[in-house]
Amino acid sequence: MRLTIISTPIGFLGSGKGGGVELTLNSLVSGLLKQNHSINIVAPNNSKLSESCSSAKLFTVEGHEQNSWQHQDYYTKTKISGGSIVNIMLEKALSLMKDCDAIINLAYDLQPICKTLEVDYPILHLISMGDESLEIRNIISKVYSSYPFNFAFHSKAQAADYPFIKEPIILGNGFELSRYTFQEKKDGPLAWVGRVAPEKGLEDAAYVASEIGEKLNVWGFIEDKDYASSIIESYPSGHICWKGYLQTNELQEQLGKCRALINTPKWNEAYGNVVVEAMACGVPVVAYKRGGPGEIIQHGKTGFLVKADDKESLLFYLKKISNINRSKCREWVENNASSDIFAQKVVSWLKRVIKEYK
Ligand code: UDP
């Protein structure tokens, strides 16, 4: 197939601002290329792809940056501006359509979803977040009633945020396993990885690390500086070791040395890439049972799941983390979330949708 993928409008690929979508795009493209599909990617200026995507065609465009939906009021009404980056990416993708079989949209945004109703070729939407905007929920609902197969989700818990979707297509996510090295060592430090923003709940991980009397290593893009400062101020200096935002090869190398990843989402986490990345390195995860992590971690086998927001349970199970056999974590990723498995699921989805248009 010849496919065009629209990237997230939140930040360029490689910036960290786009969160998990950046990695999802790279592993999806890498998996599709291995199956000999031909891929165009439309993304904001300065975007860079991972090495394994070098035979894809990258088209970068310039436009007005926008705020992430989850940091705006749920009831916000958008003023659609022609200069917005998502509009410009969409126009570019549409201009490539004459040589393409389908567009896969990874942008959680109105315009690409609306466009599905206006054109007679397939635009498929892999929705990257739960219900974070009434406007987006309404447009998904409207388009879904005519094009029920054009939407897919990462986890059942995420799809449940859209109850009008009757039999959601769940794709999970994919990871290029050759980029992650399994590390056996069990006695390393504690890790937390993610965008530093309130929906990620870093404060709860800082609390359990402090109760256990250890520092917490934090990797990720600091999206909300005030939020980060408020956590720093709550603990003695040095309690949080800021490791910065690293590219995958460095991140996985450092993360793999850790004894556990603490994952504390405060929102309905659509998937939770960092959970699987830790597991790919052999690092077990203690997480809130909220959203995707609840479907990824096998309690007692690859980590522990605790009631959301229950910090004392988090602490209790963190102390038991050495009971987990690290090779089981890697094994789960190999069997469930490689980029090949993910690409295969996406191809089946594409075929089903393309058939509807013939
Ligand atoms: N990440 C990274 N370097 C870092 C920290 C995080 O590349 O130093 C990436 C990580 O690989 C993951 C993404 O940030 O793909 C976070 O995605 P996740 O699905 O966990 O959460 P989101 O940000 O999408 O809500």
Judge whether 345 and 173 are in contact, CB under 8 Å. Answer: no
Pocket test for ligand 1, best of 175, 273, 275, 288 (most atoms within 8 A of CB): 273
Distance 227 CA to ligand 1 centre (A): 18
Let me know if 355 is exposed, middle or buried by CB neighbors in 10 A (0-12, 13-18, 19+). Answer: exposed
* Half-sphere exposure at residue 166, Cβ-oriented, CA atoms within 13 angstroms: 5
> What pLDDT, on the 0 to 100 scale, is given for residue 291?
98
Q: Which amino acid is residue 336, in one-letter code?
A: N
- Please give the Cα distance from 297 to 19 (Å, whole number): 20
Tell me the β-bridge partners of 64. Answer: 84
**Average confidence score pLDDT of the chain:** 96
CA end-to-end span of the chain, whole Å? 15
> What pLDDT, on the 0 to 100 scale, is given for residue 76?
87
Q: Which amino acid is residue 325, in one-letter code?
A: N
Pocket test for ligand 1, best of 12, 15, 22 (most atoms within 8 A of CB): 22
- Please give the Cα distance from 172 to 153 (Å, whole number): 7
Residue pLDDT, tens place only, 103-151: 999 999 999 999 999 999 999 999 999 999 999 999 999 999 999 999 9
Q: Which residues contact 118 (CB under 8 A, 6 or more apart)?
A: none
Q: How many CB atoms lie within 10 A of CB 325?
A: 13
Distance 145 CA to ligand 1 centre (A): 32
Rounded mean pLDDT, 311-334:
98
Q: Which residues contact 213 (CB under 8 A, 6 or more apart)?
A: none
Distance 274 CA to ligand 1 centre (A): 6
Residue pLDDT, tens place only, 27-83: 999 999 999 999 999 999 999 999 999 999 999 999 988 888 888 899 988 876 778
The C-alpha angle with vertex 39 and arms to 46 and 272, in degrees rounded to 5, equals: 70
Go through the domains of the chain in sequence order and give each one's CATH number. Answer: 2-175+338-356 (3.40.50.2000), 177-336 (3.40.50.2000)
* Rounded (10°) angle between helices 248-255 and 273-280: 60
Distance 358 CA to ligand 1 centre (A): 38
- Please give the Cα distance from 357 to 339 (Å, whole number): 27
Rounded mean pLDDT, 197-223:
97
> What pLDDT, on the 0 to 100 scale, is given for residue 56?
98
Distance 273 CA to ligand 1 centre (A): 6
Rounded mean pLDDT, 7-21:
95
- Please give the Cα distance from 341 to 322 (Å, whole number): 30
For the CA of 19, the closest atom of ligand 1 is 23
> What pLDDT, on the 0 to 100 scale, is given for residue 66?
81
Confidence check: pLDDT of 238 > 80 = yes
Distance 99 CA to ligand 1 centre (A): 33
Pocket test for ligand 1, best of 108, 195, 196, 276 (most atoms within 8 A of CB): 195
HEC letters along the chain: CEEEEECCCCCCCCCCCCCHHHHHHHHHHHHHHHCCCEEEEEEECCCCCCHHHCCCEEEEECCECCCCHHHCCCCCCCCCCCCEHHHHHHHHHHHCHHHCCEEEECCCCHHHHHHCCCCCCCEEEECCCCCCCHHHHHHHHHHHHHCHHHEEECCHHHHCCCCCCCCCEECCCCECHHHCCCCCCCCCCEEEECCECHHHCHHHHHHHHHHHCCCEEEECCECCHHHHHHHHHCCCCCCEEEEECCCHHHHHHHHCCCCEEEECCCCCCCCCHHHHHHHHCCCCEEEECCCCHHHHCCECCCEEEECCCCHHHHHHHHCCHHHCCHHHHHHHHHHHCEHHHHHHHHHHHHHHHHHHCC
Residue pLDDT, tens place only, 157-182: 999 999 999 999 999 999 999 999 99
For the CA of 244, the closest atom of ligand 1 is 8
- Ligand 1 site residues (CB inside 6 A) read 16, 19-20, 23, 193-195, 219-220, 245-246, 248, 251, 271-274, 277
Q: Which amino acid is residue 340, in one-letter code?
A: D
- For atom 13 of ligand 1, the residue with the nearest CA is 20
Rounded mean pLDDT, 88-117:
97
Distance 21 CA to ligand 1 centre (A): 8
Q: How many CB atoms lie within 10 A of CB 51?
A: 11
> What pLDDT, on the 0 to 100 scale, is given for residue 164?
97
Judge whether 304 and 207 are in contact, CB under 8 Å. Answer: no
